[in-house]
Structure 1
Amino acid sequence: MNPTAQTITKIDEQLSKREIELDPGGYFIIYLDREAKLICAKHYTNVINDRGLAVDPETGEVIPARGKVNRTAETLFTGKTAKEVCVKIFEQTHPSPVTLLDHAAYLGRELVRAEMALIHAQEYVQD
């Protein structure tokens, strides 16, 4: 890894450790449908409780940050590019399911990573 790549990786790793505020508009699970050559983003609703945790609006159960959760997505957004998915989420859906600017920035970064993985036939794991 070259020095620039090492620096970028180190910065990203540090920033990934920061505390984040959860979006009351919900969260997304991003994945690739390689057969269809699509970037997919499933949107799930949630409620933020008084402890700052995301909970299932139907059951009141805390939604774990890791591991499999058996929930039904509210909406599936798909596109061949990160820009196409972003337009669908932020410009064509009213109101947008994203209510926080930092969440919007995160989604943009993740969708570009997914696009690059699709183009270069690499593995994609959402950060």
Structure 2
Amino acid sequence: MSENERWPIEPGDYMLGSPESPLAISTLSDEELFGLLAKRMDRGKYAILGMTRTQNIGVEKLVRNVAANPRITLLALVGRDSEEAPVAPVILELSRRGLDDGLGLLVGGRRVRLSNLSPEEVDEFRRRVQVVDLSGSRDPEVILRIADGLSAPRGPTAAPTRSSPARYVKLEALDDPDVVLDSRGFFIIYVDRARSRIICEHYDPLGRKTAEISGTSAKAIYKTAIRMGLLSRLDHAAYLGRELARAECSLSTGEEYVQDRA
């Protein structure tokens, strides 16, 4: 990758390591293990260490980031997976079979759509990246030893795949019967610690990404979203303001930010 190419190309729950490492690690939904490895693991042993929380948007962001870095040839899945919607089987099935014509795949009798992955990204991921399934393994010592064996640098392969972000799938619905969805869509908020920014992504009701607003001020991001007409409900506006304020606090204090976790 050239110096002016931004990587990772998607924000998320991750830490960056060595740009020369061939190893990416996902602790799936295991926050405790992520924290342990982040503290104890030599950053020279991995290119990126992060979490993958959801079967759709989470997997899409992981695959896009891995496919965009030509040095990454190994993806290790470790830690506790979600019981309700496990992520590891989706990644393994994508690696084995790719996507069908409807940009989806069948996993455990359930269809998962990955609408935001281009054919080129999927092909690059399947061609270059070997998935090492250690899901369920939570012993840091075991994982550190395995990572030592996987992290020997290798030469870059083909040039990275670059495709502009286009369509994104929906988030899973909250189990609250009283929730009334905003007709203009929903937001996903991240704290990008590598760049010291808050990232606020907007998706339309069909799950397609329509905007990405970044900044360091919750107030400025909030006003930009209003100015763009991305909100139609007062309760949704209040929710967005509250979450952005939490993200700004996290950015300044260094504490973890997870959306919807008060």
Fold in common (TM above 0.5): yes
Residue aligning to 2:189:
30
RMSD, matched Cα: 1.5
The 1:114/1:18 distance shift into structure 2, 3 A limit, reads farther
Distance 2:204 2:177 in 1: 23
Residue aligning to 2:179:
20
SS at match of 2:209: coil
Deviation at 1:78, TM superposition (A): 1.0
Residue aligning to 1:42:
201
Q: Which runs of 5+ in 1 are unaligned?
A: 1-16, 47-55, 57-70
Task: Work out which of the residue numbers 185, 195, 218 in structure 2 matches 1:82.
Answer: 218
1:110 aligns with 2:248: no
TM-score w.r.t. length of structure 2: 0.31
Deviation at 1:90, TM superposition (A): 1.1
SS at match of 1:74: strand
Distance 2:208 2:186 in 1: 12
Q: Which runs of 5+ in 2 are unaligned?
A: 1-175
Give runs of ≥4 in structure 1 deviating > 6 Å. Answer: none
Q: Which amino acid aligns with 1:35?
A: A
* Cα distance per residue 1:68-116 (max 9 Å; x no partner): xxx551100111110110121113x2xx111000000000000000000
Residue aligning to 1:9:
none
| Identity between Structure 1 and Structure 2 (%) | 41
Distance 2:220 2:198 in 1: 9
Distance 1:117 1:29 in 2: 15
Distance 1:82 1:28 in 2: 14
TM-score w.r.t. length of structure 1: 0.63
SS at match of 2:190: strand
